[in-house]
Amino acid sequence: MTLHQDLLDEAAEALKSAYAPYSQLYVGAALRSVSGRIYSGCNVENGSFSIGNCAERNAIAAAVRAEGAAFALTAIAICATDRASQALPIPPCGACRQMIREFGANAEVLFMGAEGQLVQTQIDELLPHGFSLPV
């Protein structure tokens, strides 16, 4: 069992609520904040494809809503299936990578890799040159 099994389990549960009538790609994400609380989200598609939203960003939005501007994340797990409930290798998209980095510069990211193995890496490995504003 992995260190973040609870996040993987919560992400798998969240994907059951995904709204994906167009792609048939169901994605759930769960994250742990520095406070230790867990937040989850699922993808929500729309007929105007560009206004849909990813599971990772929905989980982050829920965490920001609950904890405010001080929210920071330590780890996030992503699970995905197709319409037949077959697990799919889905890493976070570029926009989600940037959003994860914004709230967790050292965040661990977990997702299933192409060979069906669990990938556990740091956000900087997935987004080596992420955008950040000078503080």
Domain membership of residue 80 (yes or no) is yes
Domain membership of residue 24 (yes or no) is yes
User: What are the pLDDT tens digits along the chain (135 aa)?
Assistant: 678 999 999 999 999 999 999 999 999 999 999 999 999 999 999 988 888 999 999 999 999 999 999 999 999 999 999 999 999 999 999 999 999 999 999 999 999 998 889 999 999 999 998 888 776
Q: Does 102 qualify as catalytic in the annotation?
A: no
Global confidence as pTM = 0.93
Query: What pLDDT, on the 0 to 100 scale, is given for residue 132?
Result: 81
Domain count of the fold of the chain? 1
Give residue 30's domain range.
5-126
Domain membership of residue 134 (yes or no) is no
- Do residues 15 and 70 touch, judged by C-beta distance below 8 A? no
Q: Answer positive or negative: Cα dihedral of 65, 69, 71, 73.
A: positive
Torsion angle of C-alpha atoms 13, 76, 26, 10, degrees rounded to 10? 0
Domain membership of residue 44 (yes or no) is yes
> Which DSSP letter does residue 99 get?
H
Domain membership of residue 135 (yes or no) is no
- Tell me the C-alpha distance between 124 and 81, whole Å: 26
- Tell me the C-alpha distance between 109 and 122, whole Å: 6
Active-site option among 56, 67, 102, 125: 56
CATH number at residue 26: 3.40.140.10
Summarize the chain as % helix, strand, coil (round to 5): 35, 25, 40
Domain membership of residue 21 (yes or no) is yes
Query: What pLDDT, on the 0 to 100 scale, is given for residue 1?
Result: 61
